[in-house]
C-alpha cells in the first residue's frame, strides 16, 4: 500500500481497521504480557502503543491548529512546494516495511517502567475520536492547509499528509508490537491451550 496517495476516506477506514485489529490482537493481553520485552533493546507491546498514543495526540493537535484560522501561520507554513515533497517522503518513510529505522522523538519516548494495562483501550478510544475528527474535515481543506510537525518545527506538510503519516506510523508500530507477541518467550497465561500443549510436548 502506498500510504502517500490515500484519500482522507481511506485514512479514516485505515484507522478504524487498526483499532479493530488492535482489539482483536491485543485486547485480551494482561499487564504482564503487555509489558514483556524480548530483550533490553526492544520495546514491549505496551511501549509501542504508549508511543503511538503520545505521537498521535501531538499530531492531532497540530492538525487542529492548522485548520483553525485563528491560530497564526508560521513562516514555514507559508513556503510553497516544500510541504508536498516532505509530506510524501515522510509518509513513505514511516510505512510498515520501510528499511530505515528512526529514533523516537524525546517527547514521544514511552516510559521504561511498567505501563498500565489499559493502554490498549486508551489507544482504541483515541482512534474512535480520530475517526470522528476526520469525518468533520473537508478533504480539499485537508490537502490545502499546511501544518507544522509537532516534533520538528521547520518541517511542514499538508493536514492530509499528516493524517496519512498517523496511519502509516500506526501500522509500523502495530506490526512491531505483533512481532513482540510472536517472539520466543512471550508469556502465555497459565491454563491456556498453548501452555497445555507445551507441557504435554
Please, what's the b/e burial string for 94-104 (b: 16 or more CB within 10 A of its CB; e: otherwise)? Answer: bbeeeeeeeee
User: What residues contact 98, with CB distance under 8 A and at least 6 apart?
Assistant: 92, 172
Compute and round to an integer the Cα radius of gyration of the chain. Answer: 18
Of 82, 102, 106, 116, whose CA–CA distance to 169 is shortest?
A: 102
Whether the model pTM is above 0.85: no
pLDDT in tens, the chain (201 residues): 899 999 999 999 999 999 999 999 999 999 999 999 999 889 999 999 999 999 999 999 999 999 987 776 665 555 655 556 666 777 777 777 765 665 666 667 788 878 999 999 999 999 999 999 999 999 999 999 989 888 887 788 999 999 999 999 999 999 999 999 999 999 986 644 443 333 333
Choices 3.30.450.20, 3.40.630.30, 1.20.120.450, 3.30.1490.190: CATH for 3-182? 1.20.120.450
- The ranges assigned to domains in the chain are 3-182
Distance of CA 11 to the CA centre of its chain: 12
DSSP state at residue 80: S
Q: How far apart are CA 56 and CA 42, in angstroms?
A: 21
Q: Check: CB of residue 181 under 8 Å from CB of residue 45.
A: yes
Contact predicate 4/92, CB 8 Å: yes
DSSP letter for each residue of 177-196: HHHHHTSTT----TTSHHHH
The answer to whether the beta carbons of residues 43 and 96 sit under 8 Å apart is no
Amino acid at each position: 500500500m502506498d500510504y502517500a496517495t490515500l484519500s482522507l476516506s481511506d485514512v479514516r477506514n485505515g484507522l478504524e481497521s487498526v483499532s479493530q485489529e488492535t482489539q482483536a490482537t491485543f485486547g485480551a493481553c494482561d499487564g504482564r504480557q503487555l509489558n514483556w520485552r524480548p530483550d533490553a533493546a526492544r520495546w514491549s507491546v505496551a511501549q509501542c502503543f504508549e508511543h503511538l498514543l503520545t505521537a498521535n495526540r501531538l499530531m492531532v493537535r497540530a492538525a487542529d491548529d492548522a485548520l483553525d484560522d485563528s491560530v497564526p501561520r508560521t513562516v514555514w507554513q507559508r513556503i510553497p512546494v516544500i510541504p508536498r515533497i516532505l509530506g510524501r517522503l515522510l509518509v513513505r518513510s514511516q510505512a510498515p516495511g520501510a528499511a530505515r529505522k528512526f529514533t523516537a522523538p524525546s517527547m514521544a519516548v514511552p516510559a521504561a517502567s511498567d505501563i498500565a494495562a489499559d493502554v490498549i483501550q486508551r489507544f482504541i478510544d483515541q482512534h474512535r475520536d480520530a475517526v470522528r475528527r476526520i469525518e468533520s474535515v473537508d478533504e480539499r481543506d485537508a490537502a490545502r492547509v499546511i501544518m507544522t510537525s509537532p516534533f520538528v518545527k521547520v518541517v511542514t506538510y499538508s493536514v492530509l499528509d499528516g493524517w496519512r503519516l498517523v496511519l502509516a506510523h500506526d501500522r509500523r508500530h502495530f506490526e512491531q508490537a505483533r512481532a513482540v507477541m510472536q517472539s520466543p518467550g512471550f508469556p502465555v497465561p497459565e491454563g491456556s491451550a498453548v501452555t497445555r500443549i507445551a507441557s504435554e510436548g
